[in-house]
């Protein structure tokens, strides 16, 4: 008894037999494919093949005779096509004993080749070879012409033949890449776009593969090395989630911008050069803004560390406004496509191919501001004592950098966004934490907010807030300083910056329809802000003497 995994070891024998009996190479290849597919179908119906070499040879000869009969009937057979039956019978009788089963990786690969066919081709082959239906039966079942059934059978056999002869020993599965997906805007009531790719490497790599040009289901399956039967549901999911588009011709493409690390590296050096050539002009304007902020009335209530953190905030907010608003000629960064489920968002992908050495990219990442200015909060219910509560406006405004900062500080504990503002407020108002509604998860991470994040301090065993805490009126004064700084930067350097950007737009595939021009300029703007900040730090003009976590974070309140 033998399984379909052991059948393939006789492939070369039947191939030689086919080539010796058929005058046409095409006929030999067709009959060879049909013979092996018939063997797979026979086994999957629960039947045994005790003498596989003989069984395969006999099956081939039956199919060969059928072909001859059809051609005799059509009058197009030649003398060269006639088989020497005596030679065949002698060859077949040599292996009339039980063949030993050998499971090979090559055989398993051949068996999987059938699953790489597209659904419309695969269903015809399965019905014909595995279920035993005739061409007429299948045409009736699927509501298609018999000619279409025959052409799909032929196409399917050809794909299997290629799998048997060309990719038998190839390893289709390469190292998977990683696609990090972000989005801006508002998601719908059902799902955010990230949920379609999160923790799904297959979905991530399908999106990356279908970015440069539209690909068919079979092309995607062949390239990613996963049978179509497995990736079809994923493609449907991505299409329904509006991350992919399926064309009328049955091809798929990813309809959002997908950045590659080298596209950013190409723009990194030019941005550093742009800043270096104009640094004195940048810093003259920024230093004036810092002096102005230092003269604001409330600054006297801040300690030295808090003042430095406020200065960091002023610099970063001023430069980010310069970076973003002066690229407005490319479109509004807040413009998002309306989605079927009621959402309005724009997806952005960052793809790192498998095996990519990201050392240079990670070094350049030291010059990024992660996530821009994260602003979260608003009216917040605060427990005053016992069950008594009050409504307080609390807004945390923070930038994430890698310069004496804790990037991604919100990852310290899972309740960061929900509770950090309340924790800071309770400490600022000297309310004992044991009487508040702060969770154990947040309390267990107090030391990390001191040592790593730089949000809290402990002196003589007492906790205190180590960032600026200012009222909404006081923050309005800070924003006026930032606004004036931005206006000066725009007037002094804006035209040069716009010219630089216009010469650095990112090329994208022509078939994409869901990409905003403003996103095409992003790689050319990503390093501008921190190029100024880091150069100032290297020159000793900024963060001089700082050797502690010094995040640019401000808590704004209104009681």
pLDDT per position as a tens digit, 284-300: 999 999 999 999 999 89
The answer to whether residues 137 and 199 belong to one domain is no
Per-residue pLDDT at 82 exceeds 60: no
- Do 451 and 523 sit in the same domain of this protein? yes
* 352 vs 134, more confident: 352
Query: 200, 224, 255: which is the final residue of a domain?
Result: 255
Determine, yes or no, domain membership for 267: no
pLDDT over threshold 50, residue 81 = no
Q: Contact at 8 Å (CB) between 232 and 119?
A: yes
Sheet holding 251-254, edge to edge: 215-216, 251-254, 244-246
Greatest mean pLDDT among 134-138, 158-162, 467-471: 467-471
pLDDT, tens digit (0-9, with 9 covering 90-100), for 514-536: 788 889 999 999 999 999 999 99
Give the model confidence (pLDDT) of 403-443 as tens digits. 999 988 888 988 899 899 999 999 999 988 888 889 998 99
**Partner residues linked to 394 by β-bridges:** 378, 557
The residue among 393, 418, 548 whose CA lies nearest residue 470 is 393
Decide if 215 contacts 209 (C-beta within 8 A).
yes
Same domain, 69 and 218: no
User: Which one, of 358, 333, 320, lies nearest residue 530 by Cα?
Assistant: 320
Please indicate whether residue 84 or residue 178 has the higher confidence score (pLDDT): 178
What's the pLDDT band for 205 if we cut at 50, 70, 90? very high
Residue 110 clears pLDDT 60, i.e. is over it: no
Residue 353: inside a domain:
no
Confirm if 413 and 445 have CB atoms less than 8 A apart: yes
> Do 187 and 134 reside in the same domain of the chain?
no
Q: Which of 331-345, 388-402, 412-426 has the lowest mean pLDDT?
A: 331-345
Regarding whether 249 and 151 lie in a shared domain, the answer is: no
Q: How confident is the model at residue 32 (pLDDT cuts 50, 70, 90)?
A: confident
User: Which pLDDT score, from 0 to 100, does residue 460 have?
Assistant: 87
155-172 pLDDT tens trace: 887 777 776 555 444 444
Same domain, 147 and 290: no
Residue 253 backbone phi and psi in degrees, to 5: -150, 155
Residue 352 counted as domain residue: no
Q: Is residue 350 part of a domain?
A: no
What pLDDT score was predicted for residue 34?
A: 83
In a domain, 435, yes or no: yes
- Average pLDDT, stretch 69-86? 42
Of the pLDDT bands very low, low, confident and very high (cuts 50, 70, 90), residue 221 is confident
Over pLDDT 90: what percentage of the chain?
46
Last residue of a domain, one of 209, 240, 255: 255
Q: Does residue 4 carry a pLDDT above 70?
A: no
Same domain, 380 and 477: yes
Residue 9 has pLDDT above 50, yes or no: yes
Is 144 found in the same domain as 194? Answer: no
506 pLDDT more than 50? yes
Residues 6 or more apart whose Cβ sits within 8 Å of residue 71: 77, 81
Task: Let me know whether 72 and 114 are in one domain.
Answer: yes
Residue 462 domain flag: yes
* C-alpha to C-alpha distances, 171 to 51, 130, 166, nearest whole angstrom: 31, 27, 12
Mean pLDDT of the chain: 83
Pick the more confident residue, 457 or 105: 457
The answer as to whether 260 is a domain residue is no
Q: Does 348 fall in a domain?
A: no
Number of helices and strands in the chain (H, E): 21, 13
Structural domain total, the chain: 3
Q: Do residue 298 and residue 411 come from a single domain?
A: yes
The per-residue pLDDT for 3 is 54
CA-closest candidate to residue 255, choices 56, 554, 5, 512: 512
CATH number, domain with residue 244? 1.10.10.10
Average pLDDT over residues 378-391: 81
What six digits make up the tokens of 491? 């007037």
Shared domain for 52 and 95, answered yes or no, is yes
Rounded CA-CA distance 315/295 in Å is: 16
Write out the residue range of the structural domain in which residue 528 sits.
278-335+368-558
Within 13 Å of residue 81, how many CA atoms lie on the same side as its CB? Answer: 17
Q: Does residue 423 share a domain with residue 452? A: yes
Residue 282: band (very low, low, confident or very high) from pLDDT cuts 50, 70, 90? very high
Residue 129, pLDDT > 50, answer yes
Mean pLDDT computed over 2-22: 74
Q: Of the segments 104-108, 141-145, 336-340, which one has the largest average pLDDT value?
A: 141-145
């Amino acid at each position: 008894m033998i399984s379909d995994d052991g059948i393939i070891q006789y492939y070369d024998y039947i191939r030689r037999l086919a080539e010796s009996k058929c005058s046409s190479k095409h006929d030999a290849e067709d009959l060879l494919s049909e013979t092996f597919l018939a063997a797979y179908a026979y086994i999957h119906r629960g039947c045994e093949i005790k003498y596989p070499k003989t069984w395969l040879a006999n099956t081939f000869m039956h199919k060969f005779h059928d072909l001859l009969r059809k051609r005799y009937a059509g009058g197009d057979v030649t003398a060269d096509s006639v088989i020497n039956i005596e030679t065949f019978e002698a060859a077949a009788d040599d292996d009339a004993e039980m063949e030993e089963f050998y499971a090979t990786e090559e055989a398993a690969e051949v068996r999987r080749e059938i699953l790489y066919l597209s659904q419309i081709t695969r269903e015809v082959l399965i019905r014909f070879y595995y279920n035993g239906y005739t061409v007429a039966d299948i045409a009736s079942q699927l509501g298609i012409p018999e000619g279409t059934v025959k052409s799909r059978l032929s196409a399917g056999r050809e794909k299997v033949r290629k799998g048997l002869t060309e990719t038998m020993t190839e390893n289709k599965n390469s190292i998977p890449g990683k696609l990090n997906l972000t989005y801006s805007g508002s998601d719908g009531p059902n799902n955010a776009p990230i949920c379609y790719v999160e923790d799904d490497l297959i979905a991530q790599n399908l999106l990356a593969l279908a970015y440069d040009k539209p690909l068919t289901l079979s092309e995607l399956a062949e390239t990613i090395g996963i049978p179509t039967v497995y990736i079809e549901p994923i493609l449907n999911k991505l299409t329904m989630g509006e991350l992919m588009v399926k064309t009328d011709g049955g091809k798929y493409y990813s309809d959002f911008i997908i950045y590659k690390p080298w596209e950013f590296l190409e723009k990194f050096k030019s941005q550093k050069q742009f800043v270096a050539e104009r640094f004195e002009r940048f810093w003259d304007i920024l230093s004036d803004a810092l002096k102005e902020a230092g003269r604001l009335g409330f600054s006297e209530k801040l300690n030295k560390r808090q003042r430095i953190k406020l200065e960091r905030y002023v610099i970063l907010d001023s430069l980010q406004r310069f970076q973003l608003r002066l690229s407005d000629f490319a479109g509004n960064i807040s413009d998002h496509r309306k989605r079927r489920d009621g959402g309005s968002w724009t997806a952005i992908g960052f793809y790192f191919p498998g095996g990519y050495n990201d050392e240079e990219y990670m070094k350049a990442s030291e010059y990024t501001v992660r996530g821009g200015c994260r602003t979260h909060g608003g009216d917040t219910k605060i427990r005053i004592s016992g069950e008594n509560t009050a409504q307080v406006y609390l807004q945390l405004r923070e930038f994430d950098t890698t310069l004496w900062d804790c990037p991604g500080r919100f990852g310290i504990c899972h309740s960061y966004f929900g509770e950090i503002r309340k924790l800071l407020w309770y400490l600022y108002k000297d309310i004992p934490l044991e009487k508040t509604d702060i969770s154990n998860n947040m309390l267990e991470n107090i030391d990390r907010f001191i040592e790593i994040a730089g949000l809290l301090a402990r002196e003589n065993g007492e906790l205190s807030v180590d960032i600026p805490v200012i009222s909404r009126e006081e923050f309005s004064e800070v924003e006026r300083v930032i606004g004036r700084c931005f206006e000066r930067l725009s007037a002094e350097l804006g035209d040069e910056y716009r010219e630089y950007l216009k010469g650095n737009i990112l090329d994208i595939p022509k078939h994409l329809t869901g990409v905003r021009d403003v996103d095409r300029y992003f790689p050319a703007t990503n390093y501008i802000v921190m190029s100024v900040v880091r150069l100032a730090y290297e020159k000793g003009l900024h963060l001089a003497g700082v050797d502690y976590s010094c995040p640019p974070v401000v808590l704004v309140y209104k009681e």
